[in-house]
Amino acid sequence: MIAEVLAEHGRIDALVHNASIDGYHGISEATADEYDTTMAINTHAAWWLCSAVWPLMRSQRYGRIVLTTSDFGLRTIDGADVAAYSVSRASQFGLMNALAGEGRSHGVLVNAICPVAATRIFRRTVQPQELMPASVAPGVAMLVSRECPFTGHVLRAAGGEWRIYQVTAVRQADLGCDASPEDVLVWATHPTD
């Protein structure tokens, strides 16, 4: 695929990995085959595509990569029954972070889109024109553009509502090297100003 694009266009400036499969199973119900298939499509394909375009983008000192993550991979959702899908989408966040750090000095920016859209795997009934997949496209277009100002960020798009996610520390403390589990528990559950 990469060779065909290069033959036709001479270079690759952007890669968007959005392939996905999902099985609605919690960890106890998912079979090994379902897990392996989910990981192959949602995780391994992204890895190998990035691996294939990485030397090209580095040598041209320019590139944009957009991976696809999900709320299921980024946060706790009560009642979720998509364990393998969640793992695969969380892996996109890790791959984004690794490549964003590696690529910045080479002009390669790597971000992720977190789409909330009523696609064929969406289970909730939606109203007409609600959570249209097309409403995610402007965000992806911005992330692959020369004007994209950042790397290592997640852009969440949900029916016209936009958020930028990036992991940051909420709070911190120096409890010392001899802190006990109880010290950590008190600090974690009783924030002080």
Candidate list 24, 35, 62, 85, residue with the active-site label: 85
Query: CB–CB of 56/12 below 8 Å?
Result: yes
Measure the CA–CA gap between 134 and 128, rounded to whole angstroms: 13
Residue in 20, 29, 34, 28 with CA at minimum distance from that of residue 117:
20
Collapse the DSSP code of 59 into the 3-class scheme (helix H, G, I; strand E, B; otherwise coil) and give the result. Answer: helix
**Other CB atoms within 10 Å distance of the CB of residue 64:** 24
User: Residue 34: CB partners within 8 Å, gap ≥ 6?
Assistant: 23, 25, 84
Tokens 């490549």 appear where? 99
Residues with Cβ within 8 Å of 74's Cβ and at least 6 positions away in sequence, in order, are 89, 90, 93, 114, 154, 165
85 classed as catalytic? yes
Which residues are the active-site residues?
85
